[in-house]
Structure 1
Amino acid sequence: MLPITHEVSIKGKRLEVPAFRLDNIVVVVNGRFLKVAEVFDEYWLETKVLPDPQQVVRQLREANHNVDLFTFAQRVPDTKPCFDFHMEWDNVAVIPVSTYETWYREQISSGRRRDIRYSEKRGVVVRAAEFDEKYIHGIMSIYNESPFRGGRKYWHYGKDFDTVQTENGTYRERSTFLAAYFQGEMIGYMKIVWDTHSASIMQILSKIEFREKLPNNALISEAVRLCAERKIPYLLYSQFVYGSKTESSLTRFKQANGFVRMDIPRYFVPLTLKGHVVLKLGLHGNPKDLIPRRLRSPLLEIRDRWYATRSKEDGRRSHA
């Protein structure tokens, strides 16, 4: 297992992190105090190419590179724990797909069906597109619509053509790129990455100006249709809930579109004394999750007000 560095994206920024190469797989190491290793893009790699976790653990121990923990998760639909390592439950947002009609009539509400029809009647057209210069410029037009989204500074704003092409062009050989158009203008896009038994939404984004036309709902609808046509039984969209934040607008959006929570095993393997101690004390997770629940909502409100104030101030400066 040879030590290298590998480029990763963290909050929209490209950074080099320590890593190791294991055959054709890269294991990256994150963290300063606690060094945690994981297979790079584990969620996006084809299931058939994922390495044996026990082999990775063995090689990390033999390499003695001061990695404290190794973490990995099982893949949908394997929800039954298969390993003897320390396990905690992770979760994925999943639409179980049989037929498009079943999803449309039984897995979403009448209100969501109206939204899909509304989007169509208002002239939104969704179709597969080539990942070419025109499509990349379409993505850039969505990114550059506003430097702020949801009251926060938007980290994709202002990225150049090459960066947008590189970041969105991963796994191109097994991806489908959808575009939502209104009167010929690209107002939304989605990238779907295909595996043998599942498809994962890597990107879905639309223009704020056309939000009332509900292009994201139309994109989800088309993604389900494609899964049904390909007989892919699971459509994934990242996590259903994030950490201890059980309620969010994104979770509600997923739920309204037929996504359900599927819990999958995630494992943590200590490789050093520090790793053993931190794992035993339960300090290996996201520090935000250690905040008492009664304090989270007030702190989130303060944060959102601060972001909103910054957004207004920066907006005034940009128009000065």
Structure 2
Amino acid sequence: MRALKVQGRSWVTRGKGFRRAEILDEEWLDPAAHGTNVAIFDPQEVFRTFRQHPEFADVFSFTCPSSQPVDLSGLCHASRETNWAVLPTADPASWWARLPQETRKNVRRAERRGVKVREVAWNPALAQGILGIYNESPLRQGRPFWHYAKPLEQVIKDNTTYLDRATFLGAYVGEELVAFMKWVRVGGQARIMQILALQGHQDKRPLMALIAEAVQVCHRQGLSGLIYGQMTYGSKTDDSMVEFKRRLGFAQVNVRREVVAVTPRGRWALRWGWDKPWTDRLPANWMQSLLKVRTWWLTHGSQIRPHATARRTSQAGVAQR
């Protein structure tokens, strides 16, 4: 991964053949740090800088705020739609009333089964509890779990980012941490960085209890919404994670990303849509079949590797359950 700083933002490039540059940690940056919005910048200057370093990127992309136009005149670019899963937190009572009856039952069931959720400060005990959750299983959602077998020092490093804007919630059964959530305040909303539970306690519905408490805490902090990653990923529009979010009141909010070509290869990619991830270009039924094959292979045909050699995906470690 290569990096280049332009207009005070760190851009990173991923990929060896086709190189895409993006703002490092774009979704976690504080809008106040740049006055209005971290995505407000001059793409013309970014293009000129990247043209001076043609080995750096074939295209660069950024999220466009709906309320602020950007100058893309004269640039070869394409708009790509992505999305966020957003739960409004301004009125917790209305949110609760709109939930399906089964979801409300599950939240109450968590309490009856001994789950207590509370806001916790970062401390060594929380770090040890998170380590225990990470090491429960090498597989999560049918793929190698990025955080499995990490040393404690790495767990602490990973979870102490953006501490000045972070909130931790812990779900406890007695003194045992069975689930936790970390969110980061971004532009008047809370963006979930991680939500994870011990699989051995899933019957107690600790994740639903965490979301319910998060709505209350966000409301008290004056935050207008809770963002839980994307609602859908490419052609995966109807899986267990999507259904989990829907049942908790999350809704899809579409967001526009602009992709700007820097090199001839970048212009060719935009023309034919090859800048999109290959998972976005496959039909949904193909993706489902491939995911089933991958799950079978990981379960029966391969040896799970520790975190140092596992390949991290765009969702790994972020808003997992």
- TM-score category of the 2 structures, normalised to the smaller one: 0.7 to 0.9
What's the counterpart of residue 167 of structure 2? 176
Q: How big is each residue's C-alpha offset from its partner over 1:272-303, in whole Å with a ceiling of 9 and x where there is no partner?
A: 11100111011111122333444333333222
CA contact (8 A) 1:79 1:265 kept: no
Gaps of 5+ in 1: 1-16, 315-320
Q: Match for residue 86 of structure 2?
A: 94
Task: For residue 79 of structure 1, report the CA deviation from its aligned partner.
Answer: 7.2
Whether 1:46 aligns to 2:24 is no
Q: 2-side partners of 1:79 and 1:24: how far apart?
A: 22
How many aligned positions are there? 294
TM-score (norm 2): 0.85
Alignment of 1:275 onto 2:259:
no
Opposite residue 129 of structure 2, the aligned amino acid is G
Percent identity over the alignment is: 34
Report how far residue 170 of structure 1 moved: 0.7
1:131-151 CA distances to partner (integer Å, 9 max, x unpaired)? 111111010010111222334
**Whole-Å separation in 2 of the counterparts to 1:269 and 1:23:** 17
Residue in 2 aligned with 1:152? Answer: 143
What SS is found at the alignment partner of 2:183?
strand
Residue 200 of structure 1 corresponds to 191
Q: Letter of the 1:38 partner, please give it.
A: E
Q: How does 1:117-132 map to 2 (within 5 A)?
A: 117-132=108-123
- Structure 1 distance, partners of 2:6, 2:290, is 42
1:142 aligns with 2:126: no
Q: Please give the per-residue CA displacement for 1:57-107, whole angstroms capped at 9, x wherever unaligned.
A: 3432344444210101135xx37875544212111100122211111112x
Say whether the 8 Å CA contact 1:179–1:190 is kept in structure 2: yes
TM-score of the two chains, using structure 1 as the length reference? 0.86
Structure 1, 119-128 or 202-211: larger mean CA deviation: 119-128
Distance, in Å, in 2 between the alignment partners of 1:289 and 1:156 is: 25
Unmatched 5+ stretches in structure 2:
305-321
Local SS of the residue matching 1:29: strand
Partner residue of 2:9 out of 2, 22, 25? 25
The answer to whether residue 20 in structure 2 is matched with residue 36 in structure 1 is yes
* Cα 1:151–1:238 shift into 2, 3 Å: closer
Q: Is the 8 A contact 1:80 1:264 kept in 2?
A: no
**What amino acid is aligned across from residue 49 of structure 2 in structure 1?**
Q
Verify the 8 A CA contact 1:79 1:264 in the aligned structure 2: no
Give, in angstroms, the shift of residue 197 of structure 1: 1.9
Q: Does 1:252 align with 2:243?
A: yes
Query: Which one of the candidate residues 218, 234, 247 is aligned to 2:225?
Result: 234
- Kindly report the root-mean-square deviation, in angstroms, between the aligned alpha carbons of the 2 structures: 2.0
8 A Cα contact 1:98 1:228, kept in partner: yes
8 Å Cα contact 1:66-1:272 kept in structure 2: no
Partners in 2 of 1:244 and 1:300 — Cα distance? 12
1:68 is aligned, of 53, 58, 69, to: 58
Q: How many Å separate the matches in 2 of 1:22 and 1:179?
A: 38
